[in-house]
Amino acid sequence: MPIALQGEITIVRARIATVEPSEGGVVLRIDGRRYEFPDAWALPGLVDAHAHIVGLGIAQREAYLRGAQSKDECIERVGAMLSRRGDWIVARGWNHELWSPPQFPTAADLDAIFADVPVALTRVDGHALWVNSRALDIAGISETTSSPPGGAILRSDDGKPSGILLDTAMEFVERHIPPLTATDVEEAILAATDLCSRAGLTEIHDMDVDPTNLPIFTNLAEAGKLRCRVLSWVRGQHRQWHRAGILPTVGQLHRVVGIKLFADGALGSRGAALLDPYFDDPTTSGLLLLDRDDMISHIESALEDGFTSIAVHAIGDRAVRTVLDAFEEIRLRYPNSDDVRLRIEHSQVVHPNDLLRYVQVGAIASVQPIHCTSDATMATRRLGMRTQHAYRWRSFLECGVVLCAGSDFPVESHDPLLGIEAFCRRTPPHSQNPWHPEESISRRDALDAYTIAAHRAADTNYRRGRILPGMDADITIFDRNLETCHDSEITQARTFATVVGGTLYMHK
């Protein structure tokens, strides 16, 4: 059965009442009003199954460094915008893998321009912080400061802190940066959900949400100001959800559904936990942020609080195996936990012995296809021949693993069309050749990952993910058939409109 259709769709009280296929375009009848979209095609509303809404909104107003081709360009962008939080200059998005040579920057690079004001610049993946000497002083980081468990203070040849902090070491500085205000957060949410709606998204799985932001989402939802449904997975690495007294909630536009944990860092900063050392740095195999027993303890606490969705960030194959070990024990301790969604976010490097274990423990692979094309050059440097075990989309599907898709915005673009193209073409930017094309997937499987599979990952597939009578009226309308158009046309598609719970948003 095709997933894209033309015809007349009648919507009554936020649900699809009837679907009458016909050629020529899409007609919507919403509570008696008629809207025509000639030559258009309707898809079930697209879902981003892993994203960071506030981060995307803030990136629209603060200096954003994604795509900068050198550390000097990063510093120029920061100087041009001078994005401040109190006395601090902050920005995000730098990626030293785009620079020549691809080396970490230093505090001295920033000191030359920003000597008297603290500066904290977050790497594009959110797992490394580039700071100046003033920031190091405020945080009390010196040559005698030890790296914390699950983190690293990188050092120069003389043993002094270099200005790069990885994973948990970032917290030394971050605790001194003034937090966003409630107004900042509200404006960021509205800006981000508007951008996502225009890109064709109707639902977002928002990961690692600060508990203090949840009431803002709820208030915006109750006021009808959210243009996308938002499902929140609350920050859980230090049991923040539990300390704040957060419990699952219900709602049409916003729900709190789960918790988010981190098993490791990222490949780009060599923080992803690997079974074997990094190909380009044999002195390290990455950072494991939670071991098996700690992970089990966190998950049990969440289950006792009534959560039925657990999302764990795992990029390296050692981290993935650790998460699978923890999930296996959880299934043994809770034999009636079939309704609990256990998700492995990113699932980037997976040892062949662990593919079938996803099915055995009921783990969902929540992937970000655009990471593959963006990371191909860097991943080859980090992994060598082990890239054959990375971004294993077709292997997952052939093993029967539920594969859902997102973007990890603002790490990558919020545009789902870029992800769909990456799934199918697997071709890095500025390249004509697909990277490990044996792991590419079909157009239909790609669209399923952004629709029905994403809803399976959130336990909402019984009411969303198909354009059928009785389902929620979440629909995306494009100017072409994304199921059958040529690969080269995918990213050229234009969003005419989205429908979220029967509410129509027109996009010009």
Sheet strands side by side (includes 88-94): 84-85, 88-94, 119-123, 128-131, 161-167, 151-155
Residue carrying the six token digits 């920050």 = 235
> Is residue 112 over pLDDT 80?
yes
* Six token digits for residue 459: 């336990």
| Cβ-based neighbour number of residue 271 at 10 Å | 28
Least confident of 57-66, 212-221, 468-477: 57-66
Residue 163: closest CA among 130, 206, 186:
130
48 band by pLDDT with thresholds 50, 70 and 90: very high
* Six token digits for residue 451: 């629709």
What is the mean predicted confidence (pLDDT) over 42-56?
A: 98
38 by DSSP, 3-state: which? strand
DSSP 305: T
Tell me if 464 sits within 8 A of 203, measured CB to CB. yes
pLDDT averaged over every residue in the chain: 96
pTM: 0.94
Q: What is the pLDDT of residues 142-198, one digit of tens each?
A: 999 999 999 999 999 899 999 999 999 999 999 999 999 999 999 999 999 999 999
* Six token digits for residue 411: 């790490």
* Identity of the amino acid at 311: A
- List, in sequence order, every beta strand (DSSP E) within 236-332: 254-262, 309-314
Give the DSSP per-residue string, 345-410. Answer: EE--B--GGGHHHHHHHTEEEEE-HHHHHHHHHHHHHHHGGGGGGBS-HHHHHHHT--EEE---TT
User: In the chain, what percentage of residues exceed pLDDT 90?
Assistant: 94
Q: What is the pLDDT of residues 408-452, one digit of tens each?
A: 999 999 999 999 999 999 999 989 999 999 999 999 999 999 999
Supply the pLDDT for residue 178: 94
* 222/190 Cα distance (integer angstroms): 14
Tell me if 92 sits within 8 A of 131, measured CB to CB. no
Supply the pLDDT for residue 309: 98
66 band by pLDDT with thresholds 50, 70 and 90: confident
CATH fold match for the domains 1-45+466-508 and 60-174:
no
Supply the pLDDT for residue 473: 98
Any idea where the domains of the chain sit in the sequence? Answer: 1-45+466-508, 60-174
CATH fold for the domain made of 60-174 = Diaminopimelate Epimerase; Chain A, domain 1 (3.10.310)
Backbone angles phi, psi at 51, to 5 degrees: -155, 175
84 band by pLDDT with thresholds 50, 70 and 90: confident
Tell me if 309 sits within 8 A of 343, measured CB to CB. yes
Three-state SS string over 238-258 comes to CCHHHHCCCCCCCCCCEEEEE
> Is residue 56 over pLDDT 80?
yes
Q: Which CATH number describes the domain made up of 1-45+466-508?
A: 2.30.40.10
| Cβ-based neighbour number of residue 87 at 10 Å | 13
Supply the pLDDT for residue 430: 85
